Structures are given as C-alpha cells and as structure tokens.
A and B are shown apart, each in its own frame.
Chain A
Amino acid sequence: MPPETTFLGETGQLVRAVGRAMGVTLRNLFRTPVTVQYPTVKRVYPDRFRGILALVYDKETGEEACIGCRLCEYICPPQVIKVEMLKAEKRNFARTFTLELYSCEFCELCVQVCPTDAIIMLKTFDLATADRRELLLDKDRLHALGLEHEPSWATGNRLRDMQAPPKPAKTEAKPEAKAGGKDAREPAE
C-alpha cells in the first residue's frame, strides 16, 4: 500500500490502521479462551506422549520383564540409569535398577533399545515434588508407576519395527514394509 503523503490521507490511514488493530482485539474478546484449567481439567495426551518412565511386567508370565541387559544404561545420553544384573537359571533379572528422573532428558532412547519392552514411558508427567530424592526412582518405584498410570504407545519393539527398512524378499507381505499411511499403532508380531 503506497504511503500517503497528504495530512488527511495519513491521518485517514492511521485511523484505519488503529481501527483494524482494535478490531482484532475486540474480536478476540468474544472468542473462547484457550486456557485449560489444569489440574481440574486435563488435556488429552496423544498416544506417543513421552512422560515419566516405568518398568513393566511381562504380559504372559507376570514376571518382571527386565532382564538386566544394561542396554538402556549404555545408551542413555546423560547416563541416568544404573542397572545391576542378577543371574538366575532360566533368565536374568535386574537386581537393582535406579533411574535419576531429575536428570532424565526424556529422549526415549532407553525405550528404543530395550529388547524385552521392559522400560516404557507413561502418559503422565506429574511427579512434581519438593524433595529431589523422591525423583531418584528405584526398581520398586518404577514398577509401581508402571501399574499406576497409562502407558504410552511406544515400546522398544514397536519403535524398531516402525523404523526398520523393509526386509528383502519375504513371502508374506509384512505390514511394516509399507510404513506410509498405515495405522502405525498396530504392534508388530
């Protein structure tokens, strides 16, 4: 819009601009506020929400899913996980499993590498506390959290299947080969 040069023209332009700006504000006065009144109202978290971490039990056997392989400990960028393995006859367990949630980056790499889908993230973040020691989660606390809250979609196998390139020359058409457009929430076998 070419700048006006006459006094009246400039004034008219200014008045119109002022009116436009105030009109936008007035229009917003009558829109519904976008505030979500947390904690009485919680918004809906998407399926892949990366919340706090937890350990789960195996669905079939009911045992702890964690085999103490320490892959999550090695991959964690800020090194907040510390695991000690407990060897047993049929399979290994984790003797201790500590996770320093106050330093956790929530990058989901530990979930990504877990071979048994033992460590997952939950759809909640609300663990606020006044004492940082409560955020040093030990194995019991992690299992308790896993039972309390709703888990997110992501587990190790699901993530790796979503990311894997198609396996060459398989007879059955794997659904992961066509990664686009499919409902990525269906778990692999």
Chain B
Amino acid sequence: MSELAGQALTGFIVLNVVIGLVTYVTLLERKFAARMQSRIGPYYVGWPHGWLQPIADALKLMMKEDVVPTLADRWVYNLAPIVFLLPCILIFATLPFAPGLGVADLNIGVLFFLAVSSLEIVGLFMGGWGSNNKYALLSAMRAVNQIISYDLPFIFAALVPVVLAGSLQMSVIVEAQAGLWYVLYPGLGQLAFLLFLIATLAAENRVPFDILEAESELVAGFRVEYSGMKFALIQLGEYAHMIGTSFLGALLFLGGWLGPGPAWLGPLWFLLKAMLIFLVVTWVRWSFVRIRVDHILAISWKLLLPATIVLLMATAFVVAWRGAGAA
C-alpha cells in the first residue's frame, strides 16, 4: 500500500516537473529562435529576458473564453484535447531519470513508450473531426498520414539501441552505454541517431514536416477551433511529446544520466542532453521551408523506412557476430 502511495507521489512529482519543464522549454525555444533571427525574443515580462513569459501565457490561456463552434460534435470536440494530452504525458511515466528514480522502469519500457506515444494521433484526429471545419479536417487527415508513415522509421531507429543493448528496459540500455555512448558507435550509431532525429521531426510535426499546421495554408491546422484552456492542453501535449522524445533520444543514444561527476548529477546530465537534442531540432525547425505532403510521404516510405530496416538488420548481424565472437 505504501509502495503504491510512494509510486503515486513520484508520479505526481514527475507530472508537475514535466509540466513546468514544458512551459519553460517554450521560452527556451522562443529565445533561441529569436537570436537566430537577429532579434531578442520575450524580454519584458519577468524583466529581463522574459522569465515570467510562460507563466503569463498560461494565465492568459486560462482566462480566455472557451468558444465552441455551434455545429461541432460536442463530445468528440471536448474530449479531443484530453485524449491528445494523455499519451503525451504518460510517456514520462516510463522514463528513468536516474538509476532507481522514475515512476515505473518497465522491462518493456521502450516498447511501451513507442506504443503510447503513437496514440496521440487519435486525439489529433478527434480534434480535426470534431471541429466541423474544413481546414481542421484537411489538416487532421494530413496529420494521420504523416504520423503513421513516420512512426515506422521512428520505431525502427529507436530499436537499434535496443538490439545493441539486448533489452527493452531503459535503465539497462543506459547502463550498457557506460563504456561507449551509442551515438558514437562506429557507423551504426550515427546513422541510427540521424534517422531517429529525422523521424522525430516528422512525428512531432516540426518544420520541415509541419504540413499539419501549415500556418500559411491551414492556419493552425486541427487546433484552429480551440481556444482557452483546451488550446493550452493541446500545446502542452505537443511540447510534452517533443520533450519526451528528446528524453528518449538522450537515453537511447546519448547515454542518459551517464556523465562525469557524482551520481546525483545524473538527472542534470540527462536534462542537458535532452535539451541539446531539443535545440538541434529547433535549429532545424527555424532553418528550412516546409515540404509538400506528397514529398513528405515519399521520403518516409521510399527513403527512411528502407534505410531503417536495413540498419536494424545490420545491427542484428553485428550483434550476432560480436556475440558469437566474444566470450
């Protein structure tokens, strides 16, 4: 019973930390993007440098009027943000932040993470359908197309470290990188990391793959009819998913909490590595124009999927050969 209470407490703490992290990551992105564009970014709220900007945004969204279109499908429309948000937050339950520090270090951790993170599509499509808006529907259809196409290379690229470590449990994968981080693994590691990053960009609807929310065409995509707290939930879900996959990338490829210094610095290293991946994704986001939906799908099915399958098979051969060779 107390174990359950302990887990519940850990879960609650992790949830709050994640939400706080997600709100401040938006500020990080805005400042980073601003500097790349020769401007300053949020500055005045929480002077200097806009430290209170995310809090101001959250308060503003809470105070906004909740506008529901007259012809919207009520139940679907209202449930969509929640169905979208749940998987995006649930993935944090499987992440270990330090050896023994995490909500649930499942022995099928990576599988659970990948499976649950794909569930956001359901919420996304519910939002697009329930809004009774042609733009939202168009964007939701594109989104389903894109996310389903890119989940496969995403999963295969994420499976390369699993095969190298021989386990789906996340803490075991991190421990197996004690000697050499998987991103530095000759050949396979870099390729897998690169493919993982590209698939992440697409699975997160980040430019150049953000055909879902192409502002100049579809003006916010499936979110277009949402306002106030529901919009905040959707934004929260998107950024949480983004951070979650950054954490996964840091864990699978960059060695998780491993780093110089005492063991209690582990979560800090983990955070830094995840932020590094996030910044690289942001850097890519602010450098490119978006590509058309048919090209996006062509890249996924004709380029990424064969590449990741071949990579996974090559990893399997290498591991088998290494396992047979070593004692």
Contacts and interface: CB of A to CB of B under 8 A. Distances in A.
Q: Determine direct contact between A and B, CB below 8 Å.
A: yes
Interface size on A, as a range, is 10 to 19
Contacts of A37: 40, 43
Interface of B is mostly: loop
Nearest to A34: B38
Contacts, number: 34
A25 B34 CA distance: 11
Interface string A18-47: 100110111011011111010000000000
A119 B120 CA distance: 65
B287 interface: yes
B34 A21 contact: no
A43 B40 CA distance: 17
Given A21-B287, A22-B283, A37-B40, 20 more contacts: A18-B288, A21-B288, A22-B284, A24-B287, A25-B36, A25-B286, A25-B287, A26-B36, A28-B35, A28-B37, A28-B38, A29-B32, A31-B38, A32-B38, A33-B34, A33-B35, A34-B39, A35-B38, A35-B39, A35-B40
A29 B33 CA distance: 8
A132 B38 CA distance: 35
24 contacts: A18-B288, A22-B283, A22-B284, A22-B287, A25-B283, A25-B286, A25-B287, A26-B36, A28-B35, A28-B36, A28-B37, A28-B38, A29-B32, A32-B38, A33-B34, A33-B39, A33-B40, A34-B38, A34-B39, A35-B38, A35-B39, A35-B40, A37-B40, A37-B43
Contacts of B34: 33
Interface in B16-68: 32, 34-40, 43
A115 B40 CA distance: 47
A18 B38 CA distance: 20
Contacts of B283: 22, 25-26
Contacts of B39: 33-35
Q: Is the interface of A mostly helix, strand, loop or mixed?
A: helix
A29 B35 contact: yes
Contacts of A24: 287
A34 B284 CA distance: 22
A26 B287 CA distance: 9
Contacts of A34: 38-39
A31 B34 CA distance: 11
Contacts of A21: 287-288
Interface in A31-74: 31-35, 37
A21 B285 CA distance: 11
A28 B286 CA distance: 12
Nearest to B44: A37
A116 B284 CA distance: 61
A57 B220 CA distance: 56
Contacts of A22: 283-284, 287
B40 to A, nearest CB: 5
